Amino acid sequence: MLDLHSRRAVGFAMGAHHDAALATAALQVAIAVRGGDVAGVIFHSDQGGEYTGNLFRAACGRAKVRQSMGRTGSGLDNAVAESFNSTLEFELLAAAGRYATRAQARTAVAAFIDEYNHDRRHSTAGRLPPAVYEARVRAERAA
C-alpha cells in the first residue's frame, strides 16, 4: 500500500494466496505505520475481490477508511501501485532469481521497501526519499 502524496510504501503483507485476508493484513500494517488513526484516509484500489469482499470492507469501516475504486477494466487509475510492484518484482528477481524459502523472499521485500522509503529519491517527492519528504512536510506544517 502506497501513500500517493509522498509515494511511501506504508503497508505490505505476503502470503500463499492473494485474497481478502492478505489485503486486510497489509491494511493493518499501514494503519500501524501511520500511528493507528487513519480516519478519513481514502484507500484507492481496483475492483478485485480482495477489496470488495466483506472482510476488507469491514476492516476499512472499523478504521474509518473510505474506499475508492476505479472503473472495471481501467488499468491506468492504479498506475502508481502497478509501477511500484513492477519495480520491486524486477529488482528482486533480477538480483536473486528465485528464493529458496518464503522467509527469504519476505526479508528481501522488507529490505527493498525500507531502502525505497528511506534512501531512494522520488521525483514526485521533491527528489527526496518518501520518508524524508514526509518529515519535511510535517516540519513545514508545524512551523
Q: What is the pLDDT of residues 69-114, one digit of tens each?
A: 877 776 667 888 889 999 999 999 887 778 889 999 999 999 999 9
Residue 75's pLDDT is 65
- Average pLDDT of span 50-79: 88
SS3 of the chain: helix, strand, coil, percent, to 5: 55, 10, 35
Q: For 6-23, how does the pLDDT look when each residue is reduced to its tens digit (9 = 90+)?
A: 999 999 999 999 999 999
Beta bridge partners of 9: 2
Q: Which residue has the cell 509522498?
A: 6
Can you give the pLDDT at residue 90? 92
pLDDT of the residue at 136:
95
Alpha carbon separation from 31 to 5, 75, 102, 108 (Å, rounded): 16, 26, 24, 22
- In angstroms, what is the C-alpha Rg of the chain? 16
For residue 49, pLDDT over 80 is answered with yes
- pTM as predicted: 0.89
- For 116-135, write each residue's pLDDT tens digit: 999 999 998 999 999 999 99
Reply yes or no on whether the pLDDT at 57 is more than 90: yes
Residue 86 in grid coordinates:
513492477
Q: How far apart are CA 130 and CA 126, in angstroms?
A: 9
> Are 94 and 19 within 8 A, CB to CB?
no
